[in-house]
Structure 1
Amino acid sequence: MKDKRQKNISITTTISDSETVNAVQNFKYDQAKIREVLSHMIIVHELPFMFSEYELFNLLMRTATPHYQKVSRTTIKKDCIASYEIEKKKLMATLNDVNRVSVTTDLWKSDQKISYMVVTCHYIDSMGNLQKRNLNFCEVEPPHTGLVICDVLHKCLVSWGIENKIWTISVDNATYNDVVVRMLKENLSYKNKLPLGAKLFHVRCCAHILNLLVQDGLSEIQDVVFNVCESVKYISALELRINMFSEIAKQLQLSSKKLVLDCCTRWNATYYMLSAALEFKDVFPRYQHRDFNYNFLPSEEDWEKVHVVCSFLEEFNEITHIISGTEYPTSNLFLTQLFKIKKMLKNADVGSRSYMVEMVKKMQFKFDKYWGDCNLLISVAAVLDPRNKMKLIEWCFREIYSPGDAIVHVTTIRETLRMLYNEYVEAHKANSEKDASGDTQKEKSSSMNNVNVKGKDKVRAEFTSYIKQVDSIEQVKSELEVYLEEGVVMCEDDTEFDALKWWRMNNLKFRILSKMACDVLAIPITIVASESAFSAGGRVIDPYRASLGVETVQVLLCAEDWLRARHGIKRKAKVSELNLF
């Protein structure tokens, strides 16, 4: 009886010990999971490392989980770095399976007086979806010459193992970028042949070109812009002036809108400033009666110029919204916007206003400088939109070019499409032969291991081999010819149409052409995706975190981009990035 009691006690003790071990293991797992999620929250929401030590945060966590243990800022920083390394490995594995990538890059100087380069990669994932990831946010030491920037950029590409997969590089119109692109093209083409002999390699940012175009036009009324800008600055400088201005606006029962401060580097910021000030044009002279130190009052003639110019630039502002969206559009959408700009400049109602004549003339000159020659990438991308095909090219080019030039440019587009498609056909054949060779080796190995293979299995294997050989041979009529000969796709709501989705749905019919189309449509026509990283950079490197090291800055900003994609968290759209008061 005693032995039996001891045995039961032993069993009970064993079970109790087992439960304790499981509890301890679960506790450790929970703590590790909490720390992982906490590091993600710190990174994605741009919180300071000190957040993990906040008293009320820890009270909240202990309320939710009584066994929660406080995490120090030093530990959470290490956890953030670990999360960065984990996500980096995942991204490298993803990029390893991608055939072609496009890159956008730009420079930014922080309040630390350190120049950073952001490198953003754009590609089509295995599910056929368009993706973008910030690869690097690294320091660029002076001098910022084309050679130095090219070396830093090339080093980034090599570190990610994508130097042989580069399809295009999109940059702004800074002079040094011409040197960067030329040198990078030479470095990359030394070992590998770039598509189309690198004709599509250099992509100029459409948003920057449009900005230059309108800025040149606005220079015709720079004296008016100066007066309005100085008026807004003067009134916004003191709370007393703001209140006085607002009181007059209320007395006149004007809109509750507010004045907008200008940003000299963005033309649409100037447009917002002018259009907002125009609504308060009757307030400014009344304000001057109360403040004799205000000396920048625009005249009635000035306000007339502002009204005419703002009316003219309204459609340009809509185009800027389309091509500068943070959820940037695919490259097939830009030709119609170029066509719209050309048509607006051609049909502008300048009347007898000399300033409008000169303004339109300057804008037309800038348009012809950057887009006067046939823009291959934008045109090729437009053709690969099944709603357009060559019909849109033929229709648009009649407006953009003279009849003789239009024919030449249309022919150039056709020839470019054919050459690019042929390169994809050759690549497809090479891959098919490689796969067939691999299958043959597998079949030989299998036959050696399985001597008694049934006859019907051998026949099936021979037939499969035959199909693969026939399949690798291009048909009499190519997929490109079939695609172009078919009618355009008509849809009731163009805003909901997704060209990439259409190609995914038709990839069995156009196996080679669909791959080419997706690669082309994924090419970014602006560097907005890279520039948006600078907004996050400005928040992360705030006055209270100015001592962050450059490596830590890269960890926080790149990991934020990756983790947002992992958790499906999009940035909230702001009403405006302009300064309002």
Structure 2
Amino acid sequence: MEYMVITGHWIDQNWQLQKRVLNFVHIPPPRRGLEIADAIWRCLDDWDIQSKIHTVSVDNAFANDSAIFHLKTYAQRKKKLLCEGKLFHVRCCAHILNLIAQDGICEIKDIVEVIRDSVEYVRRSDARLLLFYEIVKQLNLSERKLVDECRTRWNSTYEMLSTAIKFKDVFSRFAAKDPHYDAYPCHEDWEKVENVCSVLEVFWDATHIISGSDYPTSNLFLNAVSLVKVLLDEKSLDNDGFIRDMVERMKIKFDKYWGETNLLMSIAAVLDPRCKMKALEFCFPKLYSSEKVEWEISFVRKSLHELYSEYALMYNDEGESRGQIQGGSSQGQSTSNVGILRESCYSFKKDNKIEKEFDVLEWWRVNSVNYKILSFMARDILAIPITTVASEATFSAGSRVIDKYRASLTSEIVQVLMCGGDWLRKRF
């Protein structure tokens, strides 16, 4: 049996980011896009939130593209979508980073296999571990522990490789003392691994930002993606032909998904009060060719004004019951609110990483009285998950519910256990 998890994401009245499992639903084969879309729509109908959906975040499976097409058609019959639906489909950034990083790891897959086998060989025996760490002590290395790998996660492979590099001299000495250990990386292999890890490190950093246990608001992603692009551009000029060829393939994958403006990431970055429109002026020259930068910035600016106009109309029409809008014309509000986005106070550390301690939601909570309509925009945009990591984490709990001793549970009981457990954990 295969299940699909549907999670809802929003920012509550106290400006706290919330996530709840809405459904843990069994979808029988063939699981085409239409069946997936129908299952999601039934869930929205059960919760009576069909008219409250702004976006749907999915991974990059082909069936999901078809599902989004059908869902968009259903949603447009219920209400007018924001920015004519340009924000409706959000592709999972973690999956895209994974696809690009896997292209890099694939270039050294034979070496990875040797290192993986070496780590497993040492860790499989207490006697071998003792011998290994005696050599570590002799070489006076600060690192003390090898790292296991989860083969389905590229970042786990990176962690294994980056740790193993620190023991490269240990492995060669270990081979001299253990006659049964005869397959270990040579000097040239370690050089290739070091070069690949130097590229993957920025992917690892970006993945940690995107996939944190307390998943971040969407304003952080544009800078993380631009740092990846900067690295790929730099490494494409590397003196090592092996690295140049590898990076060229990674850049093709990058451009496939991020060669055009990601509107959600861009608008979310602008709604960060440290960044505003300067976020685009800083990041876009790194992401796009010089002849495209101005057009891309203009596209985001136009979409931002279009989005603001929709919110101004929406909340002025609904009055104080929803927006608590003070008196005055919509045009005047537009001038004062959008004007703040033109100011610049982009705050970067020396390594070009946005300060993590800044709480963007707390800033908007404090300033929501001054920028009423913009605060409603920010509440909706910053709540949008740009990855499916929060949803995928539910399957870790699912494996504890649907184990070999509980395989006969009906899909309805599984749904109750998963959804009820998630809501109860958030309540207490």
TM (norm. structure 1) is: 0.68
Matched, 1:481 2:368: no
Query: Are the counterparts in 2 of residues 384 and 517 from structure 1 also a CA contact under 8 Å?
Result: yes
Q: 1:157 to 1:343 in 2, by over 3 A?
A: same
Change (3 A) 1:251 1:164: same
Report the counterpart of residue 523 of structure 1 in structure 2: 384
Give the one of 312, 316, 329 matched to 1:425: 312
Worse-matched range after superposition: 164-173 or 393-402: 393-402
Return 222-231 or 509-518, whichever deviates more.
222-231
| Residue pair 2:325, 2:372 contacting (<8 A) in 1 also | no
Larger radius of gyration: 1
Change (3 A) 1:239 1:514: same
Task: Report if aligned partners of 2:218, 2:381 keep a CA contact under 8 Å in 1.
Answer: yes
Residues in 2 aligned to 1:416 and 1:129: alpha-carbon distance in whole angstroms: 26
Cα gap change, 1:483 to 1:325, in 2 (>3 Å): same
Aligned-partner Cα distance in 2 for 1:468–1:331: 26
Report the counterpart of residue 427 of structure 2 in structure 1: 566
Of residues 271, 274, 287, the one that matches 1:384 is: 271
Q: Is the contact made by 1:167 and 1:201 (CA closer than 8 Å) also made in structure 2? A: yes
CA contact (8 A) 2:309 2:334 kept: no
Relative to structure 1, is the Cα distance of residues 298 and 435 closer, same or farther in structure 2, using a 3 angstrom cutoff?
A: closer
Do the aligned partners of residues 468 and 328 (structure 1) sit closer, same or farther apart at CA in structure 2, a change above 3 Å counting? closer
Is 1:401 equivalent to 2:288 in the alignment?
Answer: yes
1:363 lines up with 2:250 in the alignment = yes
Give the Cα separation in 1 of the matches to 2:271 and 2:73.
29
- Residue 548 to residue 258, structure 1, CA distance change in 2 (3 Å): farther
The aligned residue for residue 86 of structure 2 is 199
In 2, distance between residues paired with 1:516 and 1:330? 14
Alpha-carbon distance in structure 2 between the residues aligned to 1:435 and 1:341:
40
The one-letter code sitting in structure 2 at the alignment partner of 1:154 is W
Q: Does 1:502 align with 2:363?
A: yes
SS at match of 2:215: coil
1:218·1:359 contact (CA, 8 Å) conserved in 2? no
Residue deviations 1:289-311 (CA, integer Å, cap 9, x gap): 56555453221110111122223
In 1, Cα distance between equivalents of 2:56 and 2:48 = 16
Shift of residue 335 of structure 1? 0.9
Tell me if the contact between 2:217 and 2:385 (Cα under 8 Å) persists in the aligned partners: yes
Note if contact 2:312-2:373 (Cα within 8 Å) is conserved in structure 1: yes
| Identity rate, percent | 50
CA distance 1:257–1:153, change in 2 (3 Å): farther
The answer to whether the 8 Å contact 1:503/1:517 transfers is yes
The yes-or-no answer on 1:352 pairing with 2:239 is yes
Distance change in 2, residues 1:400/1:477 (3 Å): same
Please give the secondary structure, in 1, of the residue aligned with 2:54: strand
For residues 170-249 of structure 1, the aligned pairs below 5 Å read: 170-237=57-124, 241-242=128-129, 245-246=132-133, 248-249=135-136
- Tell me the TM-score normalized by structure 2: 0.90
After superposition, give the CA deviation of every residue in 1:241-279 in whole Å (9 maximum; x if it has no partner): 555545554555545633333333322111111112222
SS in 1 for 2:18: strand
Shifted more, 240-249 versus 343-352: the winner is 240-249
In the alignment, the residues of structure 2 paired with residue 480 and residue 496 of structure 1 have an alpha-carbon distance, to the nearest angstrom, of: 25
Match of 1:511 in 2: 372
Question: Which of 248-257 and 498-507 deviates more?
Answer: 248-257
CA contact (8 A) 1:220 1:358 kept: no
Range that drifts further, 311-320 or 419-428: 311-320
Q: Deviations over 1:114-161 (max 9, x none)?
A: 211111100121222221111111212122222222221111111111
The one-letter code matched in structure 2 to 1:417 is L
For the residue of structure 2 that corresponds to 1:373, the secondary structure is coil
TM-aligned CA distance change 1:116 to 1:394, over 3 Å: same
Alignment length (residue pairs): 424
Letter paired with 1:475 = G
Q: Distance in 2 between matches of 1:273 and 1:468?
A: 55
Alignment match, 2:399:
538
- Is the aligned partner of 1:168 residue 2:22? no
Candidates 142, 154, 175, aligned match of 2:29: 142
> What is the aligned partner in structure 2 of residue 18 from structure 1?
none
Between 273-282 and 516-525, the greater mean CA deviation after superposition: 273-282
Partner of 1:338: 225
Distance in 2 separating the partners of 1:394 and 1:254: 44
List gaps (5 residues or longer) in structure 1. 1-113, 437-466, 568-581
RMSD over equivalenced CA pairs, Å: 2.8
**Residue 14 of structure 2 corresponds to residue 123 of structure 1:** no
For 2:5, the aligned partner's letter is V
Report the 3-state secondary structure (helix = DSSP H, G, I; strand = E; otherwise coil) of the residue aligned with 1:412. Answer: helix
Cα distance in 2 between the residues matched to 1:134 and 1:411: 37
The aligned amino acid for 2:91 is R
CA distance, structure 2, for counterparts of residue 420 and residue 548 of structure 1: 46
Q: 1:321 is matched with which residue?
A: 208
Q: Which amino acid counterpart does residue 28 of structure 2 have in structure 1?
A: E
